[in-house]
């Protein structure tokens, strides 16, 4: 198994989104979008890092599957990050 990771700079943006509890719209590499509140970053059983999003239910999104993260809160520290 090869372990993919994202850059430290991109990881920092995800951490900031969690720290402030931002409402985010995630665009995944497969084209799907997910909206919800950024809660935390956790390590899965498979040892991949996942963003915990609280929408209708809590979802774990593998950080390596992210293509774009948009912050929906006004006056946020940043508005959009591309993971490509």
Question: Any idea what the CATH number is for the domain that residue 67 is in?
Answer: 2.30.30.100
Angle at 71 between CA 40 and CA 64, to 5 degrees: 55
Helices marked H in the chain: 8-20
- Does residue 3 form part of some domain? no
Counting runs of H as helices and runs of E as strands, what totals does the chain give?
Answer: 1, 6
Domain with 36, as residue range(s), is 8-82
pTM as predicted = 0.90
- Does residue 49 form part of some domain? yes
Q: What is the DSSP letter of 56?
A: S
> Per the structure, how many domains does the chain have?
1
Q: What is the full per-residue pLDDT of the chain (84 aa) written as tens digits?
A: 345 789 999 999 999 999 999 999 999 999 999 999 999 999 988 888 999 999 889 999 999 999 999 999 999 999 999 997
């Amino acid at each position: 198994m090869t372990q993919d990771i994202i850059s430290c700079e991109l990881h920092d943006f995800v951490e900031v989104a969690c720290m402030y509890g931002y409402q985010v719209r995630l665009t995944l590499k497969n084209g799907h979008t997910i909206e919800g509140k950024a809660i935390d970053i956790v390590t899965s059983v498979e040892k991949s890092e996942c963003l915990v999003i609280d929408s209708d239910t809590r979802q774990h999104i593998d950080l390596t599957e992210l293509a774009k993260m948009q912050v929906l809160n006004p006056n946020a520290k940043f508005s959009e990050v591309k993971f490509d």
